[in-house]
Amino acid sequence: MSALFEPFTLRSLTIPNRVWMAPMCQYSADDHGPDMGVPHDWHFAHLAARAVGGAGLILTEATAVSPEGRISPADLGLWNDRQVAAFRRITSFLEAHGAVPAVQLAHAGRKASTERPWRGGGPAGPEAYGWTTVAPSPLPFAEGYPAPRELTKDDIAQVVADFAAAARRALAAGFKVVEIHGAHGYLINGFLSPHSNHRTDEYGGSFENRTRFALEVVDAVRAVWPEELPVFFRISATDWLTENAEDDREGWTADETVRFAKDLAAHGVDLLDTSTGGNAPDAVIPTAPGYQVPFAARVREETGLPVGAVGLITDPAQAEEIVASGRADAVLLGRELLRDPYWPLRAATALGLPPRRPAQYRRAA
């Protein structure tokens, strides 16, 4: 028996195991023209390989709800029907090979309009099809980044509507799970944290005000997403500012994450995908194997909301212990699945289970 390879049911959806693929940008879509934001053969091959490799649930990279919500000009989107048709080819293959197709819907906020990492990263200028970014407050993400435009209340309402429209398209594209990206300094996280939200209206200041936009997005998505299918929310459980005694800046905290998790559950979120950081580029983060697992475990213990754990989870025995001990309901692998698309098959073998190989590969067992 292995906890890592037990099925997991949320609402009416049963996921075949607890080894899931975390969202990872590929920066490989067309950056302009009619195919902007459309997944193509690279995305198909990338995601299909992890389904063949045995992942129980596969989350796409951050998929923008509008063109200006992309992290880079080469990111995927779900703001038009051309994108829906291309995604449908991918989701059909994932389901046919035993994986649950899931999409992470995102708006990058002040961290949008950046270059591909292999082109140096940093802000993308007009020559690289960049654009003016938006945020809760006109505060640059880091030195060398432009100040974003502060969103008006009408702008906020439009972004909420964009998330709902993208969720409708996600359903049409064949996705079974939608995850709302509220982590890593992108737009929703930007509203949550006092480090990046200096507003004085009903979207800033108090905890209730800073979480208002996120809950409006959740409500809008949940309203158009089928009752029988789950909604995930990805969060940065801490900015790694307030917890650092040597840093006098105020940020989003683990205590606030636990409090907010209860609100998310009340608004129809089924699982909290628990990461950390990303909102303050110079925050001191004490990384180590499984360093983010305690944040997930605390949410699960104090709220009862199912959680996913992510971050430097690389070993089958380590992953098994995280799930078997009840610290998380699933593990999400990122870089480890880039290194080895067949990690779930190897993990099953290491834990003494028959791996879920496709029939075409069984002679290699």
- Residues labelled as active-site residues: 186
The CA distances from residue 223 to 62, 66, 143, 161, in Å, are: 21, 19, 39, 11
Q: What is the DSSP letter of 28?
A: -
Q: Using CA atoms, how far apart are residues 119 and 161, in angstroms rounded to an integer?
A: 33
Pairing state of beta strands 8-10 and 19-21?
unpaired
Whether residue 162 contacts residue 180, with contact meaning beta carbons closer than 8 Å, is answered with no
Pairing state of beta strands 231-236 and 271-275?
parallel
Q: Using CA atoms, how far apart are residues 216 and 207, in angstroms rounded to an integer?
A: 14
Helices (H) and strands (E) in the chain — how many of each? 11, 12
Q: Which element (helix H / strand E) includes 213?
A: helix 212-224
CB-facing half-sphere around the CA of 308: CA atoms within 13 A:
32
Query: Residues with Cβ < 8 Å from 164, sequence gap 6 or more?
Result: 220, 221, 223, 224
